[in-house]
Amino acid sequence: MIYDRLRIAEANAVVFHIPTLRDPIERLWKRPGQRWVAWSMESDANNPRLADPEFMSNFELTMTYRRDSDVWVPYLKAGFVGLADGFVGPGPEAMLEPPRPKTEVAPAIYVASNPETLSGRDAYVRELMRYLEVDSYGSSLNNRTWPTDAGRATKLETLSRYKFTLAFENSFAEDYVTEKFFDAIVAGSVPVYLGAPNIADFAPGDRCFIDVAAFAGPRELATHLLELSHDETAYQEYLAWKSDGLRPEFLALLTRLEPHPLCRLARLLARP
What secondary structure, in 3-state letters, does the chain show? CCCCHHHHHHCCEEEEEHHHCCCCHHHCCCCCCCEEEEEECCCCCCCHHHHCHHHHCCCCEEEECCCCCCEECCCCCCECCCCCCCCECCCHHHHCCCCCCCCCCCCEEECCCCCCCCCCHHHHHHHHCCCCCEEECCCCCCCCCCCCCCCHHHHHHHHCCCCEEEEECCCCCCCCCCHHHHHHHHHCCEEEEECCCCHHHHCCCCCCCEEHHHCCCHHHHHHHHHHHHCCHHHHHCCCCHHHHCCCHHHHHHHHCCCCCHHHHHHHHHHCC
Q: Mean of the pLDDT values across residues 153-166?
A: 96
Q: What is the pLDDT of residue 148?
A: 87
**What's the CA gap between 78 and 255, in Å, rounded?**
10
**Does the pLDDT of residue 82 top 60, yes or no?**
no
- In our burial notation (b when 16+ CB lie closer than 10 A, e otherwise), range 17-43 reads ebeebeeebeeeeeeeeebbbbbbbbb
- pTM for this entry: 0.92
Domain count within the chain: 2
Q: What is the pLDDT of residue 247?
A: 95
pLDDT at 77: 65
Answer yes or no: do 102 and 198 share one domain.
Answer: yes
pLDDT at residue 78 tops 90: no
pLDDT tens digits, residue range 255-271? 888 888 889 999 999 98
Tell me the range of 42-51, 187-196, 242-251 where mean pLDDT is highest.
187-196
89 pLDDT band, cuts 50/70/90, is low
Q: Are residues 100 and 211 in the same domain?
A: yes
pLDDT at 79 (0 to 100): 42
Please indicate, yes or no, if residue 80 is contained in any of the structural domains.
no
Residue 50, pLDDT > 80, answer yes
Q: What is the pLDDT of residue 81?
A: 38
Q: Domain of residue 56: give its range.
A: 5-74+258-270
Task: Find the mean pLDDT for residues 97-119.
Answer: 95
Based on the fold, state whether residues 202 and 133 are members of the same structural domain. yes
Same domain, 54 and 113: no
Residue 121 lies in a domain: yes
pLDDT in tens, 196-231: 999 999 999 999 999 999 999 999 999 999 999 999
Is residue 87, in this structure, part of any structural domain at all? Answer: no
Residues 68 and 103 in one domain: no
Q: What is the CATH number of the domain that holds 134?
A: 3.40.50.11660
What confidence tier does 84 reach under pLDDT thresholds 50, 70, 90?
very low
Q: Is the pLDDT of residue 3 over 90?
A: no
Residues 6+ positions from 37 with CB-CB distance below 8 Å: 13, 14, 15, 16, 59, 60, 61, 62, 63, 71, 265
